Amino acid sequence: MKILKVQTLRGPNYWSIRRQNLIVMRLDLEELADRPTNTIPGFYEGLTEILPSLVEHFCSPGCRGGFLSRIREGTMMGHVIEHVALELQELAGMSAGFGRTRETATPGVYQVVFEYLDEQAGRYAGRAAVRLCQSIIDTGHYPQEELEQDLKDLKMLWAEASLGPSTEVLVKEAEARGIPWFQLSARAMIQLGYGVHQKRLQATLSNNTSILAVELACDKEGTKKILRDAGVPVPRGTVIGYLDELAEAIATVGGFPIVIKPLDGNHGRGITIDINSWEAAEEAYDAAREVSRQIIVERYYWGRDHRILVVNGKVVAVAERVPAHVRGDGNSTIEELIKQTNQDPRRGEGHDNVLTKIEVDRTSWQLLEKQGYTLDTVLPAGEICYLRATANLSTGGTAVDRTDDIHPENIWLAQRVAKIIGLDIAGIDVVTQDISRPLQEVDGVIVEVNAAPGFRMHVSPSEGIPRNVAEPVLDMLFPPGTPSRVPIIAITGTNGKTTTTRLIAHLFKQTGQVVGYTTTDGTYIGDYLVEPGDNTGPQSAQLILQDPTVEVAVLESARGGILRSGLAFSTCDVGVVLNVAADHLGIGDINTIDQMAQVKSVVAETVMPNGYAVLNADDPLVAEMAERVKGQVAYFSMNPDNPLIRYHTQQGGLAAVYENGYLSILKGDWTLRIDQAVNVPLTLAGRAPFMIANALAASLAAFVQGVRIEDIRAALATFSASTQQTPGRMNLVNLGTFHALVDYAHNPHSYEALAGFVKNWPGERVGVVGAPGDRRDEDFVTLGRLSAQMFDRIIVKEDDDNRGKPRGDVARRICEGIAQVKPDARFEVILDETEAIQAALNSASLNGLVVVLPESVKRAISLIQARLPRSQEEEAVQPVSPPNGSHFMTNSHEHPEPASKEAAEYVSTEVV
């Protein structure tokens, strides 16, 4: 077996909309391609010996028995790899249950798909599953020690990837509220929400947390001074920097017993309490000095340790923290009791578990000695031995919920303290004999105020009621009625995506909002290019959604990104699907147009219930997607008599249609006309039907999001197929004696759409044609056939990057198609794109049209613009009259007068 490729999906995808975290492994079974499992000697026995828990696995509902019965009966090895990868994750503590296995068009090559919780662990599990099964095939078994190492590695990856307990609680609360979140790339920060509505967290520090408050809370002595000045009960204490200051400090606080702790410590490190002798004080000083250069010496106050959590000025939880300890059973030594306690599944290393394992250190030995014990002491039944002086959970302590016990005066005091320090989220440490009585009555004190307090003692107390402390944090960050998302308009399809994306962005700009959008040309925010390139995948989309200035996100979502990583967002407000045509077939194991439609439908299926899928009613593959849409559906069509449009609008549905020369919105029995196509520069006076369709889709997407018709009309009037607004999309340039047109058509569907415009040109039509090298041979032949039907003269070129094809192979196939349609066609091959464009421009005839279908849009536009007369400004348009009398748009300095309604109807009828 050989792993050919491993992909990680992180959003809605071709395989599943709901299960977004998937590994897709392309696996060549090689000699196993024709060997089901029941023909491999000893495979069943070897697999069940090393993974007996597979007995709990089941396959599809229609399958007889469980997964192991399929192995007995005979199944392909790809199916086994899927289940083993899932089971390895399960055994490592990652519950993942979704999987799919499909044979590709390449015999013996399978796509193995399985769910993951952590992507590094998921990829590891896939490789380990192949290794395990190959070992059983070759030797009849898989060594137990290797399985144990696999599980150890998987657990380590899972532990490294896991969010901290406090962060995880906050993220789960956000998910429950439908608030999206990201892990940012620096400082373990989490972003909640999108764009301008986002908030950030770092553990339990929030957007609202004041840096001044954090620094004050970290300054324990400064905190104590501020609180003392405010009349808050705090311990008597002082700060020293040297050992020779210790004796005076002890006298200052009133003598023994005392507490010594580091000024800059946390998690209980370096703290020693209840010190009653000079020798113990010196040792405690040394321990604190290992943590901090400055040392706090305080009066020791007897009582129990409590943590009061204050969020947004309100007490939300109280926990009594009990130091690490063991309780005797009359038979076991203290060492044995520690081992038994650490076997509690809730305990683990560090802070990621509900409880932390107890470890014996210097403080433990001191406490054992003070209590008259050793590790070999057998404790009487019920007797408690304390192993830590402080009650931190990070040192093995436990927590008891006391939220319902705290006295109202102590609530008032804690809330006041949080405001005095200035923290939005504060953990206030209190030592008191009885939290149900006012501190003043029982000589209780507030010993510390903590920024970024841990939540696990409140969420998962050892005893008492768990408290949802994440709820008030989310209420603070996103008060009821406050949005967490910006509108997302996602656009996909085979052709027209970039133009439609740019037009939708232009439409929303009319509302005064900051629009972030991604296209094949680059990523933009407002009027500025953020990042050039073909940015239609999830990484570019995340850039937009993470930007704090963006108010509307318009995201071109291409096939490649969906297959490679899935979408960057779980849901969208509007999903636009323009069309589905035969392009990119044979790439990424998408071999049929129906499979391609399933890829494109991912955008439509992520539309929220209150959102809209904007679908092309003229494309059956797109129209069928409505059956899988969970939101509302709106259609667009070039044909107002389309039966689907008629039925949909009669049922009260929305549609955008091209009727009587107008772009119009329909619903029920009313028609809202936006404008005549001849007044919309993008449509080239209504002579570019595919541009009319793009304008309909864009207008409808904006309309369902509440953009006013007046703003839609204004946007359509100010958006043209120019090199500034839509580079490489029907850019028509007047070069004086002839015109040049640049368009990024590169598949049969786009060639056919372009032909609807080019065939009506009155002069000679010259085409500079080519295609990306990763298409099928039959696709190149088809492009040649279409070129022969469209152009009077053809120059065939190739891309600089032929994507693995031998030089000249693409051109040869295109020429083959030309010859099939027009054996006497006038064509030549000039492989270099620059030379081909220059040759076409040099040989253009009077009133002719040179159509360039480039690899590099920027290069093609530059070559054409270099020939512009200095006095001419590109992109102004005026009508001219070709021989057939229909109106045609060309470049000039003046804006045209609108053509008549009758002329518009004539043009649309002729072109369509």
The residues with which 308 forms a beta bridge, in sequence order, are: 318, 428
3 state SS of 326 = strand
Rg of the chain's alpha carbons, rounded to an integer? 36
**Cα angle for residues 514, 520, 524 (degrees, 5° grid):** 20
User: What are the C-alpha distances in Å from 688 to residues 482, 822, 907?
Assistant: 43, 25, 10
Pick from 764, 761, 763, 594: nearest CA to 687: 761
Indicate the pLDDT class of residue 354, thresholds 50, 70 and 90: low
Q: Which two tokens stand for residue 488?
A: 């997302």
Q: What is the pLDDT of residue 353?
A: 63
Q: What is the pLDDT of residue 885?
A: 34
**pLDDT, average across residues 270-287:** 90
Rounded CA gap, 165 and 455, in Å?
Answer: 7
Q: What is the pLDDT of residue 370?
A: 79
**Cα angle for residues 195, 198, 200 (degrees, 5° grid):** 135
Percent of the chain at pLDDT > 90 equals 64
Task: Evaluate if residue 64 carries a pLDDT over 60.
Answer: no
Indicate the pLDDT class of residue 350, thresholds 50, 70 and 90: low
Q: What is the pLDDT of residue 407?
A: 98
Spatial contact of 223 and 217, defined as CB atoms under 8 Å apart: yes
Residue 578, CA atoms < 13 Å, CB-side half-sphere: 30
Rounded CA gap, 735 and 847, in Å?
Answer: 10
**pLDDT, average across residues 46-52:** 93
Q: What is the pLDDT of residue 891?
A: 30
Indicate the pLDDT class of residue 270, thresholds 50, 70 and 90: confident
3 state SS of 172 = helix
User: What are the C-alpha distances in Å from 647 to residues 261, 309, 653, 674?
Assistant: 77, 59, 9, 22
**Length of the chain counted residue by residue:** 912
User: What are the C-alpha distances in Å from 834 to residues 26, 107, 555, 774, 795?
Assistant: 38, 41, 32, 21, 12
Indicate the pLDDT class of residue 534, thresholds 50, 70 and 90: confident
**DSSP one-letter code for 627:** G
Task: Evaluate if residue 884 carries a pLDDT over 50.
Answer: no
Q: What is the pLDDT of residue 352?
A: 56
Indicate the pLDDT class of residue 638, thresholds 50, 70 and 90: very high
Pick from 593, 614, 607, 638: nearest CA to 500: 614
Task: Evaluate if residue 909 carries a pLDDT over 50.
Answer: no
The 10s digit of each residue's pLDDT in 564-616 is 999 999 999 999 999 998 776 767 888 899 999 999 999 999 999 999 999 99
Task: Evaluate if residue 316 carries a pLDDT over 90.
Answer: yes
**pLDDT, average across residues 116-129:** 96
3 state SS of 828 = strand
**Cα angle for residues 541, 545, 547 (degrees, 5° grid):** 115
Task: Evaluate if residue 880 carries a pLDDT over 60.
Answer: no
Q: What are phi and psi of 349, to 5 degrees?
A: -80, 145
Sign of the four-CA dihedral 680, 686, 691, 693? positive
Q: What is the pLDDT of residue 513?
A: 96
Amino acid identity of 131?
R
Rounded CA gap, 766 and 171, in Å?
Answer: 59
Q: What is the pLDDT of residue 871?
A: 53
**Cα angle for residues 888, 892, 896 (degrees, 5° grid):** 55
Q: What is the pLDDT of residue 893?
A: 28
Spatial contact of 429 and 318, defined as CB atoms under 8 Å apart: no
**pLDDT, average across residues 158-169:** 90
Residue 832: other Cβ atoms inside 10 A: 12
The 10s digit of each residue's pLDDT in 770-801 is 988 888 888 889 899 999 999 999 999 998 88
Task: Evaluate if residue 701 carries a pLDDT over 70.
Answer: yes
The 10s digit of each residue's pLDDT in 67-121 is 888 898 899 999 999 999 999 999 999 999 899 999 998 999 999 999 999 999 9
Task: Evaluate if residue 905 carries a pLDDT over 70.
Answer: no
The 10s digit of each residue's pLDDT in 648-661 is 999 999 999 999 99
Q: Which two tokens stand for residue 287?
A: 């321990």
The 10s digit of each residue's pLDDT in 651-689 is 999 999 999 999 999 988 889 999 999 999 999 888 888
Spatial contact of 461 and 355, defined as CB atoms under 8 Å apart: no
Amino acid identity of 100?
R
Q: Which two tokens stand for residue 208?
A: 């609202």
The 10s digit of each residue's pLDDT in 172-211 is 999 999 999 999 988 889 999 999 999 999 999 999 999 9
Task: Evaluate if residue 890 carries a pLDDT over 50.
Answer: no
Indicate the pLDDT class of residue 912, thresholds 50, 70 and 90: very low
Task: Evaluate if residue 892 carries a pLDDT over 90.
Answer: no
pTM of the full predicted structure? 0.81
Rounded CA gap, 778 and 400, in Å?
Answer: 72
The helix (H) or strand (E) run that includes residue 416 is helix 408-421
Q: What is the pLDDT of residue 877?
A: 36
Amino acid identity of 195?
G
**pLDDT, average across residues 31-54:** 92
Q: What is the pLDDT of residue 60?
A: 58
Rounded CA gap, 87 and 9, in Å?
Answer: 19
Sign of the four-CA dihedral 857, 859, 863, 868? positive
Helix axes of 689-704 and 497-509: crossing angle, nearest 10 degrees: 40
**Cα angle for residues 342, 346, 347 (degrees, 5° grid):** 40
Q: What is the 3-state secondary structure (H, E, C) of 431-466?
A: EECCCCCCHHHCCCEEEEEEECCCCHHHHCCCECCC
Task: Evaluate if residue 166 carries a pLDDT over 80.
Answer: yes
3 state SS of 198 = coil
pLDDT, averaged across the chain: 88
Highest mean pLDDT among 164-178, 753-767, 775-789: 164-178
Rounded CA gap, 747 and 667, in Å?
Answer: 34
Percent of the chain at pLDDT > 70 equals 93
Q: What is the 3-state secondary structure (H, E, C) of 144-169?
A: HHHHHHHHHHHHHHHHHHCCCHHHHH
Higher pLDDT, 209 or 752: 209
Q: What are phi and psi of 184, to 5 degrees?
A: -85, 165
The backbone region for 303, taken as left when phi is positive above 0, alpha when psi lies in -120 to 50, beta otherwise, is left
Strand order in the sheet with 445-451: 398-401, 314-322, 304-311, 425-432, 445-451
Rounded CA gap, 644 and 630, in Å?
Answer: 19
The 10s digit of each residue's pLDDT in 357-400 is 888 887 788 788 878 888 888 888 888 888 876 767 777 778 89
**pLDDT, average across residues 902-912:** 26
**pLDDT, average across residues 517-542:** 92
Rounded CA gap, 102 and 463, in Å?
Answer: 49
Q: What is the pLDDT of residue 232?
A: 97
Spatial contact of 195 and 550, defined as CB atoms under 8 Å apart: yes
Task: Evaluate if residue 898 carries a pLDDT over 70.
Answer: no
Strand order in the sheet with 662-667: 528-532, 522-525, 515-518, 552-556, 488-492, 572-577, 607-616, 632-637, 654-659, 662-667, 670-676
3 state SS of 632 = strand
Please measure the distance between the N-terminal and C-terminal CA atoms of the chain and give it in whole angstroms: 53
**pLDDT, average across residues 318-330:** 89
Amino acid identity of 745?
A
Residue 1: other Cβ atoms inside 10 A: 18
Q: What are phi and psi of 518, to 5 degrees?
A: -120, 140
Rounded CA gap, 227 and 225, in Å?
Answer: 5
Indicate the pLDDT class of residue 267, thresholds 50, 70 and 90: low
Residue 657, CA atoms < 13 Å, CB-side half-sphere: 22
User: What are the C-alpha distances in Å from 649 to residues 148, 547, 631, 636, 667?
Assistant: 62, 38, 17, 11, 5
3 state SS of 723 = coil
**pLDDT, average across residues 857-874:** 77
Please classify residue 804 by burial: count the beta carbons closer than 10 Å to its beta carbon, then call 0-12 exposed, 13-18 middle and 19+ buried: exposed
Task: Evaluate if residue 895 carries a pLDDT over 80.
Answer: no
Q: What is the pLDDT of residue 367?
A: 80
Q: Which two tokens stand for residue 670?
A: 């009313």
Q: What is the pLDDT of residue 911?
A: 25
